[in-house]
Structure 1
Amino acid sequence: MKDAVLDPTQTRSVPLRVLVSSYRSAPHVGGQGVYVRALSRALADQGCAVSVISGPPYPDLDPDIELIKLPSLDLFSVDNAFLTLRLETLLDRANRTEWLAHNTGAFAEMVSYSMRLEAWVAEHGDRFDVVHDNQTLALPMTGVDSYLPVITTLHHPIAIDRDFAVAGAANWWRRALTRRWHSFVDHQAKAARALPRFLAVSDAARQSYAQRCGVDPDRVRVAFNGLDLDSFKPDPTVSRDEDHVLALASADVPIKGLDVLIDALAKLKGRGRTPRLTVIGSLRDGPTKRALKDTGLIDSVDFVSGLSLDEIVALYRKATVFVSASRFEGFGFPAAEAMACGAPVIVSRGGALPEVAGDAGLVTEVEDADGLADALERVLSDPALRQQMSAACAARAHSAFRWDEHARASLDLYAQALDERGRLPDITELAAQ
């Protein structure tokens, strides 16, 4: 993408007005609420006037950031979504779309949210200069872009999750239900091709959208996510455990690669070494639990969930090594957070993980349990290597994963979009900068 002509925060005598948009923003589940809060804070710190508009669940924002609530039917919060049908539901296009999709096994919150957002922006859009959307990727967002320039953050194509979920389904009818649930994926690809400009959180995210959705990679700017570096940092007073492997993964979600890590640990057990594994996540009856019993590892693995931020940081600081064996990550927050706390990391070549690890961590091939076992044995057996990796991982994380840099990349895109439309009003003299 071409370089920005002007920096809108430096060439205006009034703050740039940014509307950060997210179709759902649960503050403590998944990354959407985390991203929205961090992005809005970083943009405000760069001098922008920032508001956040979101469907439920709503984000937890800093007190100086305005939250605009865009209510939906919120059908996941009711006991029987079918019985919520009312005449006004059928008469409203967004509500009708949401209700029909939900009650036929599909997911259409992105589409229904963007319909509501388009109507809201048509009425209130003069309050803002740009919209920064968090991967809603629905065709009505092109209508929003007709009122205000839209910049869309890309994390990774959900088509990848769909393919792994379908492949991991136990039988034909579960595969059919999984495909129905993910029927929005093709719609997202059409929207991605129609929207004008993007900010990707890694080059892997940029390339995967080009391959999966047909997005022109030249329309995509890359900027890593940031971290809360005041929280995720080393503590030299804390000693690391011996033979303690840490991972963060949903137990039976194939894309996260926990099965590969279990296979690697089983191979280490065959070599006479059985490190303790802690998984931040929940263990249910399913393939992971069966694999742990079959390999005899069940007693050396702990699953922990519902942890506070401080408890997660404490685990990162004490683990001998952090492992992410994911088959694909658009970024990889857990690996980056562990690095920031000084944990040596081993990652797969799954998506952006090698970008995150850089030269500081060890990288293995996707689904290569033998290679992962070798890397684990190497790190667990060499205190000097662990010390070297710990320092390198912390240094990389604290220099590469910064929200202020992510915000400045966003501002470049805003400037380009506004310049293209001739909407950079109230220009002051450049010589005064």
Structure 2
Amino acid sequence: MTAEAVATSPFAGPADDGERPLRIALLTYKGNPFCGGQGVYVRHLSRELVRLGHSVEVIGAQPYPVLDTGATLTELPSLDLYRSPDPFRTPKRDEYRDWIDALEVATMWTGGFPEPLTFSLRARRHLRARAGEFDVVHDNQTLGYGLLGDVGAPLVTTIHHPITVDRKLDLDAAQGRMKRASVRRWYAFTRMQGRVARKLPSVLTVSGSSRQEIADHLGVRDERIHVVHIGADTDLWSPDASVAEVPGRIVTTSSADVPLKGLVFLVEALAKLRTEQPDAHLVVVGKRAEQGPVARAIETYGLQDAVRFVKGITDAELVDLVRSAEVACVPSLYEGFSLPAAEAMATGTPLVATTGGAIPEVAGPDGETCLAVPPGDAGALAAALGRMLGDPQLRARLGVAGRERVLTRFTWAAAAEGTAAHYRAAIEQSRVARSRRAR
């Protein structure tokens, strides 16, 4: 989409600070908006940047992002080796296009995760062929070697949180030497991401907690890291009194097989809670794991009828599901931001959340905008959920306070304004550097 087309769009407003609109290439090596925060980030940030008057072209690989009106999508396909229903597939001979495809398959065959590297190499080739078409390139946590050097425009990178945090938690949960070796091989790409991050002139992140983690884990110099909070779509995620609350309903968003999300502790907490409040039940927005710690916990505690998993629902259905809950819960051991917390609070649904990572930065003080518990403590989680379910006045007070916190601190409109300001700073920094080299 051209700048002129954006200017005539009904979604477009004036540029954020009165300067000319920017031509933005927004990269995402995984864009699924229904699973994981990267696709959500790309969808909502691109929409709000367009509303500010900018031209946004999202360049992404499978699963491709879903975009709102205004931004355009350019597909930069991988071999999609992890697609459902045949993950870790071996491509047919006629699927190979070049050496990058061969590298992608070889890395998978040896137990690694190739997509950050191979997407970065394809993106560099694509962007160099289009040099001069963009004012800025925004990388959404690819952090691949291909993005070092000239990519045709100044580069800004968002790091939601260092994946080394996921690596540590997965290693801690791994049982046996072979499993730990497999985890290390899978996360081998994090060494590349650290090397790339240390060479970047400008890094954006979504919370103060992530800022510190990036400095500590990746060795990025403090002055290069800038916090721009993200948030909820507060028009979509809003209260609706016509949606009836379901007694005892607790809702969470989680991947059952990801230790970082802490779902196993929530299942254990539910078992404790149901001894006193037998109508308590859990709806998990995410894919059910047929085996692993969560599946074993559900079977051990006899919770097959008290835990339900849902996936593939629409945005409207998801919002109504959260509205129908008496309590929303974020049981994660760590979060770089926690969109589920912000979104639940925006609906006015009271929140029980851990203090893992940046969650307190989003959820706010215990007893004022949420009930907060230590991560990994099923007993404390059960006590907080029981307190919330048993006190309608507490739920009402925290629900109102939670929405107000999101409205004043965590919106996508504010995120777009802050991000655009950093785009302009990166462009100016690049201009000054070119001027110095020309002397």
Normalised TM-score (structure 1):
0.88
- Paired residue for 1:248, among 237, 250, 253? 253
Structure 2 match to 1:293:
299
How is 1:345-364 mapped onto 2 (pairs within 5 angstroms)?
Answer: 345-359=351-365, 360-364=369-373
1:26 is displaced (CA, Å) by: 2.6
Q: Does residue 304 of structure 1 match 2:310?
A: yes
Q: Is the 8 A contact 2:62 2:77 kept in 1?
A: yes
Aligned-partner Cα distance in 1 for 2:95–2:390? 67
1:254 is displaced (CA, Å) by: 1.4
Aligned-partner Cα distance in 2 for 1:355–1:51? 31
- Paired residue for 2:223, among 211, 218, 225? 218
- Note closer, same or farther for the CA distance 1:342–1:19 as it changes in structure 2 (3 Å cut): same
- Paired residue for 1:393, among 402, 418, 421? 402
- Note closer, same or farther for the CA distance 1:80–1:332 as it changes in structure 2 (3 Å cut): closer
- Paired residue for 1:155, among 136, 155, 160? 160
Instruction: Report the 3-state secondary structure (helix = DSSP H, G, I; strand = E; otherwise coil) of the residue aligned with 2:132.
Output: helix
Q: Write out per-residue CA displacement over residues 343-395 of structure 1, whole angstroms, 9 at most, x where no aligned residue.
A: 10011011111111113111111112222222122212211111101111122
Q: Write out per-residue CA displacement over residues 239-286 of structure 1, whole angstroms, 9 at most, x where no aligned residue.
A: 323322222222232111112112223333455656222222324233
Q: Which of 250-259 and 123-132 deviates more?
A: 250-259
Amino acid at match of 1:67: L
- Paired residue for 1:367, among 354, 368, 376? 376
Amino acid at match of 1:323: C
1:63 is displaced (CA, Å) by: 4.2
Aligned-partner Cα distance in 2 for 1:76–1:250? 16
Q: Is the 8 A contact 2:44 2:412 kept in 1?
A: yes
Instruction: Report the 3-state secondary structure (helix = DSSP H, G, I; strand = E; otherwise coil) of the residue aligned with 1:185.
Output: helix
1:324 is displaced (CA, Å) by: 1.0
Q: Is the 8 A contact 1:51 1:68 kept in 2?
A: yes
- Note closer, same or farther for the CA distance 1:79–1:311 as it changes in structure 2 (3 Å cut): closer
Q: Does residue 117 of structure 1 match 2:126?
A: no
Aligned-partner Cα distance in 2 for 1:268–1:330? 28
Structure 1 match to 2:284:
279
Amino acid at match of 2:371: L
Q: Write out per-residue CA displacement over residues 186-227 of structure 1, whole angstroms, 9 at most, x where no aligned residue.
A: 111111111111111111211111121111232121122132
Structure 1 match to 2:80:
74
Supply the RMSD in Å over aligned alpha carbons.
2.5
Give me the identity figure in percent: 40
- Note closer, same or farther for the CA distance 1:255–1:150 as it changes in structure 2 (3 Å cut): same
Q: Is the 8 A contact 2:30 2:63 kept in 1?
A: yes
Unaligned residue ranges in structure 1 (runs of 5+): 1-6, 425-433
Aligned-partner Cα distance in 2 for 1:88–1:162? 30
Aligned-partner Cα distance in 2 for 1:327–1:371? 14
1:185 is displaced (CA, Å) by: 1.0
Aligned-partner Cα distance in 2 for 1:10–1:223? 17
Q: Is the 8 A contact 1:201 1:223 kept in 2?
A: yes
Q: Is the 8 A contact 2:231 2:342 kept in 1?
A: no
Larger relative contact order (Cα-Cα within 8 Å, sequence gap ≥ 6): 1
Unaligned residue ranges in structure 2 (runs of 5+): 1-13, 434-439
Aligned-partner Cα distance in 2 for 1:80–1:344? 40
Structure 2 match to 1:428:
none
Aligned-partner Cα distance in 2 for 1:423–1:119? 25
Structure 2 match to 1:383:
392
Amino acid at match of 2:347: C
Normalised TM-score (structure 2):
0.87
- Note closer, same or farther for the CA distance 1:284–1:79 as it changes in structure 2 (3 Å cut): closer
Aligned-partner Cα distance in 1 for 2:87–2:421? 45
1:117 is displaced (CA, Å) by: 1.7
1:9 is displaced (CA, Å) by: 5.2
Aligned-partner Cα distance in 2 for 1:376–1:79? 37
Structure 2 match to 1:427:
none
